[in-house]
Amino acid sequence: MRIRKFRKEDAAAASRIVKNGFQINNAPYYGKASIKEQVEANSPKNLIEKAKKVKYFVAAEKSTILGIGGYDWQKVHTLFVDPNWQRKGIGMKIMARILSEAKKDGIKHLDAWSTFQAEKFYSDAGFKKIKKFTLECRHSTIDFILMRKQV
Ligand SMILES: CC(C)(COP(=O)(O)OP(=O)(O)OC[C@H]1O[C@@H](n2cnc3c(N)ncnc32)[C@H](O)[C@@H]1OP(=O)(O)O)[C@@H](O)C(=O)NCCC(=O)NCCS
């Protein structure tokens, strides 16, 4: 398994992982409307569009995509691991790549909008909890935990 830069051809598989992550891992915490909107926001087309501003990486085993995650100057974006492959260190490997690349870019600190399911993961990665907040989306609202780490 290696962590490499996201390519357009990864979008369909990465989008499926985000969908499964929301529907499987986050179903206990969020309503159906919030999950639906987040899944749509991470369609293959939208991921390709977002990748113009966000530096995304994927975890890949040969041609199979197992996880995705990225960052911009402000925050970590879309860190998801295929539910069948979680708790094997893949998320932390994507995070390590994000942090090392952000450091090379001269970024001093990164925020994360953590789902409730991912709070322990981010705290293990050295992020400190700042506050819970509610994001107003077009058709729904969704609660996240704002977390921050010095890079
Ligand atoms: C959060 C997420 C990316 C973690 O990916 P992962 O590959 O399973 O994480 P790792 O195996 O690298 O875990 C590293 C450590 O984080 C912590 N951790 C990870 N998942 C956890 C969970 N579900 N519950 C509690 N602690 C967890 C553990 O301490 C773990 O170490 P351990 O397995 O030795 O105990 C994954 O659970 C996921 O895709 N979740 C759904 C999507 C999501 O909500 N992402 C956050 C968007 S902001």
Pocket test for ligand 1, best of 1, 78, 79, 121 (most atoms within 8 A of CB): 121
Domain of 57 in residue numbering reads as: 2-106
- The answer to whether residue 52 sits within a structural domain is yes
**What pLDDT sits at residue 57?**
98
- The answer to whether residue 119 sits within a structural domain is no
- The answer to whether residue 113 sits within a structural domain is no
Of the candidates 41, 39, 3, which has an alpha carbon nearest to the alpha carbon of residue 18? 39
- The answer to whether residue 36 sits within a structural domain is yes
Q: How many domains does the chain have?
A: 1
- The answer to whether residue 133 sits within a structural domain is no
Whole-Å CA distances, 53 to 78, 121, 139, 144 = 13, 25, 24, 22
- The answer to whether residue 112 sits within a structural domain is no
Q: Per-residue pLDDT averaged across 135-141, rounded?
A: 92
Q: Is 66 exposed, middle or buried (0-12, 13-18, 19+ CB in 10 A)?
A: buried
- Give residues (CB < 6 A) around ligand 1: 21, 25-26, 79-81, 86-92, 112-115, 117-118, 120-121, 124
- The answer to whether residue 28 sits within a structural domain is yes
**pTM of the predicted model, to two decimals?**
0.97
CATH number at residue 46: 3.40.630.30
Find the DSSP H helices in the chain.
Answer: 11-20, 32-41, 44-50, 90-104, 119-124
In this predicted model, what pLDDT tens digit does every residue of 26-73 receive, in sequence order?
999 999 999 999 999 999 999 999 999 999 999 999 999 999 999 999
